[in-house]
Amino acid sequence: MSAPTIDHTLDEILKLAASHFKVPREKLTPDDDFFKTLGIDSLQALDLLTRIEHHFRIELPDYELQGVSDFRTLANRIQARL
Amino acid sequence: MNAFSGQTLSWQIVNGVTELALHRDPCNEIGSLTLDELEKFAAALPELENNSHALIVHSTLKAGFSAGADLRELFQRGQAMEKSAARRGVREFLERIHCVMNTLDALPLTTIAAVHGVTFGGGFELALVCDIIVADRTARFCFPELRLGLIPGFGGIPRLKRDLGNAVVRDLLLTGRSFNVMKAQQIGLVSQIAAEGEALRVARATASQAAKFEKRTVATAKEFVKPIPYEELKREIDIFCDLYSRPAVEQGLRKFVENEGVQPYLP
């Protein structure tokens, strides 16, 4: 089975973030700083990471998220693990 | 004392099970007040042992089980006193908390940690003294101490080495990364996975099962399968104190405490 495209991965992340943090999906864009747009801190970012790992059935070490704050870069990190 | 309600934790007996609930905002950071109350709990254990057949440790806070040692207090106390006095204070704190942890580890009852969310550092070490870890799907486990120039100080490494393969211990320790619950179960750390918010319910069901067995048999079985690595635990205190004396640790703690950004918990 082929891996999903980066656009699909990005869309899945945006849907997941919108649903979990109760933000309208249309308000989120790929280049948003998710800390600011979602109003979250690092503990909540780890919560998001846990949900992403479960959703995509991957393991994404949190050190790979160091300095990552936009959905597009996050999607690229995830894509590399699919 | 069969029930207690403190500032950082509370306990009571529910259906023959002692339930220790952690509730110090923001995420059960373990500082001197928590230690005082944990010592009260340890002192009450002989009576609780007689009146219950299992112990469950859990958190009532949404953020998680525990974010570990209170680093702000560690830093501020270190700043407020002369360095040799600060070192003595750290050693005394560690010796006291090891005493509590060893008492919990050796408890002749079935002990269950019901964890969720952040289970980091000293919080992870508290879970590790329990016989069984039940975790919900939000749980994450991590030993971030190396980021500060330290090693875990509440007995984490000797207990991890007791329970898991050394390669996994090295991965956790030397990367400082956090594991989710699936990984934690895969490596043998977590016994049961619960749905989000269901860890305590699952732990209670497990404790009910434990009640079916005779106490003496449970105590004997535990003593046989769960030896306490006392020598390594003592060595851990020495290593921690040696590392704590270095300026790099003060810098690491300062960086954490003074970080007003949104990412202090990311490596």
For the segment A36-65, the average pLDDT, to the nearest whole number, is: 90
Q: Which amino acid would we find at residue B171?
A: D
Q: Percent of chain B at pLDDT above 70?
A: 97
The span from the CA of B141 to the CA of B84, in Å, is 33
Task: Give the chain A residue whose CA is nearest to the CA of B118.
Answer: A43
Q: Which residue has the tokens 């007791």?
A: B162
Q: CB under 8 Å to B224, separation ≥6 — which residues?
A: none
Residue B265: band (very low, low, confident or very high) from pLDDT cuts 50, 70, 90: low
User: Rounded to two decimals, what is the model's pTM?
Assistant: 0.93
Please check whether residue B116 lies inside any domain of the structure: yes
Distance of CA A60 to the CA centre of its chain: 11
Task: Give the chain B residue whose CA is nearest to the CA of A43.
Answer: B265
pLDDT over threshold 80, residue B6: yes
Please check whether residue A1 lies inside any domain of the structure: no
Please check whether residue B17 lies inside any domain of the structure: yes
The span from the CA of B142 to the CA of B68, in Å, is 10
The number of domains in chain B is 1
Please check whether residue A54 lies inside any domain of the structure: yes
Please check whether residue B103 lies inside any domain of the structure: yes
The span from the CA of B253 to the CA of B14, in Å, is 40
Per-residue pLDDT reduced to its tens digit, B227-253: 999 999 999 999 999 999 888 898 888
Partner residue opposite B177 with nearest CB, options A42, A45, A61: A61
Q: Is the ipTM here above 0.85?
A: no
- Structure confidence at residue A43 (pLDDT): 84
Whole domain around residue B35: which residue ranges? Answer: 4-258
Q: Give ∠ CA B6-B8-B14 in degrees, rounded to 5.
A: 60
Q: Which two tokens stand for residue B222?
A: 């535990």
Task: Tell which of B174, B175, B180 to mutate to test the A interface (max A CBs under 10 Å).
Answer: B180
pLDDT over threshold 80, residue A34: yes
Residue B261: band (very low, low, confident or very high) from pLDDT cuts 50, 70, 90: low
Please check whether residue B265 lies inside any domain of the structure: no
Whether A63 sits inside 8 A of B175 (CB atoms) is yes
**CATH (domain of A64):** 1.10.1200.10
Q: CB under 8 Å to B116, separation ≥6 — which residues?
A: B59, B64, B65, B135, B136, B138, B139, B196, B197, B199
Shortest distance, CA A43 to any CA of chain B (angstroms): 6
The number of domains in chain A is 1
pLDDT over threshold 80, residue B263: no
Closest to B134 (Cα-Cα) out of B190, B81, B63: B190
**CATH (domain of B200):** 3.90.226.10
Please check whether residue A28 lies inside any domain of the structure: yes
Chain A residues at the B interface, defined by Cβ less than 8 Å, are 35, 40-43, 45-47, 49-50, 53-54, 59, 61-63, 65-66
* Average predicted confidence (pLDDT) for chain B: 94
For the segment B45-66, the average pLDDT, to the nearest whole number, is: 96
pLDDT over threshold 60, residue B158: yes
- Structure confidence at residue B83 (pLDDT): 85
The span from the CA of B138 to the CA of A46, in Å, is 9
Are the beta carbons of B66 and B27 closer than 8 angstroms?
Answer: yes
